Structure 1
Amino acid sequence: MKQSEVKGYSAAELSDKLAESQKVYADLTRTHIVSPLDNPSQIKDLRRTIARLKTAINNQ
């Protein structure tokens, strides 16, 4: 998710997206511990998305 996409969301939508992204991130990291992911860069992308969402929430 890019910063331009994040700017279009309201505060409630940002909170929902943040909770959803954090859940997916936790699931991916647990899965990666047990067996390696095919695309481990997904973890990095999700971390960055979570940071973008948190930044957008703090700026509102």
Structure 2
Amino acid sequence: MKQSEIKEASTAELQEALADSRKAYTELKMAHTISPLENPIQLRSQKRGIARIATELTNREVQ
């Protein structure tokens, strides 16, 4: 998700997206462990996406 999409999404949508992203990241890590990914940068971008969503959720809880 892009940052603008994250800011516009509701809290419930963000929590669902976070769960989906974490699941996808775990699957990518497992696939990379078994045989190297064609594009290992996917792992980094997926992890950064998770961090963006988690940060936005934390900011909303604080406010």
TM-score (ref. length: structure 1): 0.95
Structure 2: tracts of 5 or more residues without a match: none
Aligned length: 60
Structure 1: tracts of 5 or more residues without a match: none
Are 1:22 and 2:4 an aligned pair? Answer: no
More helix as a share of residues: 2
Higher relative contact order at CA 8 Å, sep ≥6: structure 1 or structure 2? 1
Q: Which segments of structure 1 move beyond 6 Å, counting only runs of 4 or more?
A: none
- The two structures, once aligned, show a CA RMSD in angstroms of 0.7
Percentage of identical aligned residues:
48
TM-score (ref. length: structure 2): 0.91
